[in-house]
Amino acid sequence: MGRRKDLQDRREFLKRCCSITAGGLAGFYGLSNSLQLANAAVGPGGEDYRALVCIFLFGGNDSWNMFVPRDNTNYGIYAASRQNLAIPQGNLIAVAPAAPVVDYGFHPDCSGLANLFNNGNLSVVANVGTLLEPTTKAQYDARSVALPPQLFSHNTQTQHWQTSRPDSTERTGWCGRVADLLSSVDPSAQVAMNISIFGNNVQQTGATSLPYNVNSNGVPTLTGINDNNTTNAIRKQAFESILNMAHQHRFAREYANVQTRALNLADTIATELSNATPLNTQFPNSSLGRQLAQVARLIRIRGALGRTRQIYFVGAGGWDTHGQQGTRQPQLLGDLSNCMQAFFNATVEMGIEDNVTTFTGSDFGRTLTSNGDGSDHGWGGHSLVMGGCVNGQRIFGTLPTLEIGGPDDTRGGRLIPTTSVDQYVATLARWYGVPQGQISTVVPNVTRFATDDLGFMQLIP
């Protein structure tokens, strides 16, 4: 027992060391039962590479104004529910869904999303949200099914989205569990499978793997030793001398090793990014645009980093539109639309649009009802999936009835999700390379639903 306890303490120490090093050094990878299963699939372009890119919209995206019915009957229901928040019918950008054939349109500031949709490179996953099991309005009212804890709470619902384990005390995210499961992929890789451009997040944290953190400008470095001046050069030399000492204690040795690898990795990534040929694609000069531009640059140097499987996380704040929604939301949606269009263009420029799938998530949807100046915390909401392997120009899941007091309304315009986050995640994980028999390891609650494949991804043989 003593040796086992010592090993457990050592692993915890190492994990903590990893999280505080410069740039968040790649997590330690455990053994995986999957071995090389994920390596068996090769992308349509012949390159054995796949990446998932998560765009998380923090605050709760009012997607009822992002994707709106245009036919007179359903628009009338929508407009009556939304009141002063309703987008004028004639301003909506019409799209032509291949299935189901319905008359819908995007917000007038989402021309990029509309173009991607009509060109077959983007689909809408309708009314996605946190669920513990399928839930109807009657079941919700009677409390005859288990409900997610603390519905309509930012922190709890974000955690549910990112962990897909709301009824468990284990705090690992689904992307982290994917990395744990596929740890044998890319055994010589220099960097973690998960990379965040938006700081720490539970979604990319596994039991044995940690994300690598960078920012829009590059790899964060230790303050005071990497600036180009004589004083910092002396500090760096002193720090490296300490790391290279013959440390007697095993914790000290491992900490020195972690720091050394972190410094070396930061130098490698910075050098590769500096030497890479710049992309011609222009990104919006916004926080989200700069993050996605960095993702594109990192994907461009994937070969040098030894990675054939990568998961990226970027974030955008400001979506909690309780007030001034009429002026704030057009800016938010316009930026999202332009950034997603630019990022897709970058993958086309690199010739890997079939190998990269981008998807959105958000704390929750918002109320249909207006509070006078905005909308409040809701439940279900639409999500977007983009890429060359997406079954594009379609709507997946079930479109809700946008009616106050209707069959999907819990009260107050908070719509019950008709598709679970777990199903959404499982569909993405399968395309990424998680074997069918291991899907429930990534998303344990998905077995409670009728299907774990919503059909929005073209699976690679």
Q: What does the pLDDT look like over 84-114, one tens digit per residue?
A: 999 999 999 999 999 999 999 999 999 999 9
pLDDT at 2 over 90: no
Host H or E run for residue 131: none
Mean pLDDT, residues 238-262 taken together? 76
74, part of any domain: yes
Mean pLDDT, residues 15-38 taken together? 37
Q: Identify the band that residue 115 occupies on the pLDDT scale cut at 50, 70 and 90.
A: very high
Tell me, what's the pLDDT at 46? 63
Tell me, what's the pLDDT at 39? 40
34, part of any domain: no
pLDDT at 35 over 50: no
Mean of pLDDT over the chain: 88
pLDDT at 440 over 80: yes
pLDDT at 15 over 70: no
CATH for 107:
3.40.720
pLDDT at 26 over 90: no
Tell me, what's the pLDDT at 395? 98
pLDDT at 130 over 50: yes
Query: Cis (ω within 30 of 0) for the bond into 100?
Result: yes
Please tell me the total count of domains within the chain.
1
Tell me, what's the pLDDT at 178? 98
Host H or E run for residue 326: helix 325-350
Q: How far is CA 444 from CA 366, 421, 429, 439, 447, in A?
A: 27, 12, 13, 8, 7
CA dihedral 437, 439, 442, 448 (to 10 degrees): -110
Mean pLDDT, residues 57-78 taken together? 98
Q: What is the DSSP string of 339-364?
A: HHHHHHHHHHHHT-TTTEEEEEEES-
Amino acid code (one letter) for 333 = L
Distance CA 204, CA 291 (A): 17
pLDDT at 228 over 70: no
Q: What is the CA radius of gyration of the chain?
A: 23
* Six-digit token string for 70: 């245009």
341, part of any domain: yes
At residue 155, φ and ψ (nearest 5 deg) are -60, -45
pLDDT at 29 over 50: no
291, part of any domain: yes
Mean pLDDT, residues 230-259 taken together? 75
Q: Which of 25-29, 120-124, 333-337 has the lowest mean pLDDT?
A: 25-29
pLDDT at 243 over 90: no
Q: What is the domain extent for residue 180? A: 50-217+279-448
228, part of any domain: no
Q: Identify the band that residue 266 occupies on the pLDDT scale cut at 50, 70 and 90.
A: confident
Angle at 334 between CA 79 and CA 431, to 5 degrees: 95
Cβ neighbours of 411 (radius 10 Å): 12
78, part of any domain: yes
Tell me, what's the pLDDT at 427? 98
Answer positive or negative: Cα dihedral of 394, 381, 200, 148.
negative
271, part of any domain: no
- Phi/psi-derived region of residue 412, left when phi > 0, alpha when psi is between -120 and 50, beta in every other case: left
236, part of any domain: no
Distance CA 394, CA 118 (A): 9
pLDDT at 13 over 50: no
Contact 36, 184 (CB under 8 A): yes
The better pLDDT of the pair 41, 274 is held by: 274
pLDDT at 215 over 50: yes
**pTM, full prediction:** 0.88
Q: Identify the band that residue 229 occupies on the pLDDT scale cut at 50, 70 and 90.
A: low
Mean pLDDT, residues 414-428 taken together? 98
At residue 394, φ and ψ (nearest 5 deg) are -135, 165
Q: Which residues pair with 415 in a beta bridge?
A: 409
Q: Which residues pair with 457 in a beta bridge?
A: 390
